[in-house]
Amino acid sequence: MTEALWPYLLVVVFGFLPSEVWRVVAVFLSRGFDEKAEILVWVRAVATALVAGVVAKIVFSPTGPLVAVPLVWRLAALALGVAAFFAARRSVMTGVVVGEAALIGAAWLAAGRMP
C-alpha cells in the first residue's frame, strides 16, 4: 500500500515542487505590476529568449530518437517550417505540418541507412 504510493510521492517532491516554486514566486512578484509596467517588457524579452534557447537546445543537442536525424536535416526541417509559415500568410498549422513532414522524411531516410 505505502510502497505503491512511492512513485507518486517522488513526482510531487522531486518534480512538482522544484518546478512549481517559480510559478508561485511569480505570483508574489507580480503584485503591483500592471499590464504596461516597464519591467514587464524586459521580463517578456527574457522569457522569449529562454524559449528560443529551449528550441535551440532540442535542435542542436537532442536526446532519444531525434539523435538519429543529422543536425543539418534538423536545422533544414525547422527552416522549412518557418518558410512555410511565412509563405502561408503566417499560418502556424501549415508551418508545423511542413516542418514535421520534412523531419519525419529525413528520419525515414536516416533510419533506412542505418545498419
Partner 1 sequence: MARPPMGPEEPSTRALVLRGVRDALALPAWVVGLSMFAVGSLAGETGFPAGAAVLSTLMIWAGPAQVIFFGGIAVGTALPAIALAVALSSIRLLPMTLSTLPLFGGRAKGTGLQVLVAHYVTVTVWVEALRLLPPMPMEERLPYYLGFANACLLLCAVTTFFGYALVGALPLPLAAGLLFLTPTFFTLSLAAGARGASDWVAVGAGFVLAPVSTALVGKDFDLLLVGLVGGTAAYLVQKKLGRGPA
Q: How far is the CB of 10 from partner 1 (least distance, A)?
A: 7
Per-residue mark of binding to partner 1, 42-81 (x: CB under 8 A) = xxxxxxxxxxxxxxxxxxxxxxxxx-xx----x--xx--x
Least CB distance to partner 1 at residue 12 (A): 7
Q: Is 30 in the site for partner 1 (CB under 8 A)?
A: yes
> At a CB cut-off of 8 Å and minimum separation 6, what does 1 contact?
none
82 binds partner 1 (CB under 8 A): yes
Residues 85-114 that bind partner 1 (CB under 8 A): 85-86, 90, 92-93, 95-96, 99-100, 103-105, 107-108, 111
Residue 10 found at the interface with partner 1 (CB under 8 A)? yes
